[in-house]
Structures are given as structure tokens and as C-alpha cells.
Structure 1
């Protein structure tokens, strides 16, 4: 993946390292925290080899960073994830580059139709 020259010039070398597979999975699931996905879809959307995704997801589950039910995977407990150093590093890098997300602003532009996940959101 290409980066712009300003990032190239101003970012320390250790921060330019490519995300690991667990970091890619966490980043994807955090960005899509209102859905659960099959392992093959996570592999396809994160460009992780399908033969590797089960191992990655299993290790993240062992650390309580993702949840698993049936064939589906979703992001785990937010507090647990915040303590995970690689997640923190990836989030900081993305926030510096693109700015932090304003969840309320994002929701204001979301579709009005209810989804099956809306019921579980009302319990929060």
C-alpha cells in the first residue's frame, strides 16, 4: 500500500511497519463493530490468507480480543482491547493520519432502517 510523501518524510521508521495480521483483524472488526463476520469474509476484507485466518482469530479469542459464536466473529470487549499494545499503536497511527472518529456524527449519517443488530444496541 502506498503512502503520501509527507507521511514518508515525517513518520518515524518503526511506525511505517506494515500491520500484523492480528492488527489488521482488530482494525477491521473495530471499524465494523456493529456487525459479526464469517472468518472467510474477514480474511477477504483484510487480505489475510484464508489458511491463516483461523489461527489469527483463535489467538485473538484466547486473549479475549474477539468474540466467536457459531460461524461468526465480532470485536471483543473494548476495555480489553485498549490494553493491547498493538491495537493502541495502530489506532494512534490511524488517528494521526486521518483524525479520530466521531461516532455520533457517523451515526447521524447512518441509514434510518432498523437492522437485526438494533435490538442488541438498545440494551447498552
Structure 2
């Protein structure tokens, strides 16, 4: 169903869905857990299980929102205080889960 041109012009760009389990969430989580490295699209595909053809589109949408950055073939989490806090929280959560699981014998 078509919409009026006024609504088209006034409506904000659709928000990027970054809920748990979505492709953007998986990419951001992976990059946040590894915020001291940069990865190629192929490496991100292999680490997240996201289809190779979808990784580029996800990264482009994340870059449009300044959540990731890239240089040449490599991609990394953006330099942003909020993302740095998210990365630290993600690492801490992963560490406590691993410690709890592997700490018991």
C-alpha cells in the first residue's frame, strides 16, 4: 500500500533492530568481545555464522550509525564510550559464565 509523500519525507529512517539474536546484535557482540582486534568480513562470517553475503550489509548499516568502523578490508567496533562500556560488560559477562561453568569439577 503506498504512503503519502509527506509521510515519506517526514518519517524517520527505520531504526536498526539491535535485539538479542539479530544479525546486527551478533556482529556487535563479536566485535565488542574482541575490541582489541579488527576482522575481515570472512572472519566475521566464520565467527558469527551469519551468511557471508549478509555480513557486508549488516556492517554497512552498523557503520551508517557509527557503531563500527573500517579501514580497507578490516572492521572493528567503533570508538565510542558507550560501545566501550558495552564491550567491557560483554567480556565480564562471558568471563563469569566461563568461570562458573569451568570452575566446577
Same fold by TM-score, threshold 0.5 exceeded? yes
Larger relative contact order (Cα-Cα within 8 Å, sequence gap ≥ 6):
2
Q: Which residue of 1 aligns with 2:48?
A: 46
Q: Using the alignment, how far apart are the partners of 1:29 and 1:37 within structure 2?
A: 8
Deviation for aligned residue 1:37: 0.4
TM-score after normalising by structure 2: 0.60
Gaps of 5+ in 2: 1-18, 98-105
> RMSD of the alignment, in Å?
2.9
1:70-81 counterparts in 2 under 5 A? Answer: 70-81=72-83
- Contact 2:20-2:26 at 8 Å conserved across structures: no
TM-score after normalising by structure 1: 0.52
For residues 86-115 of structure 1, the C-alpha deviation after alignment (integer angstroms, 9 at most, x for no partner) is x7xxx68x83x8649xxxxxxxxxxxxxxx
Gaps of 5+ in 1: 1-16, 101-124
- Contact 1:65-1:81 at 8 Å conserved across structures: yes
Q: Using the alignment, how far apart are the partners of 2:63 and 2:82 within structure 1?
A: 11
Give the number of the structure whose alpha-carbon radius of gyration is greater.
Answer: 2
- Counterpart selection for 1:31 from 30, 33, 36: 33
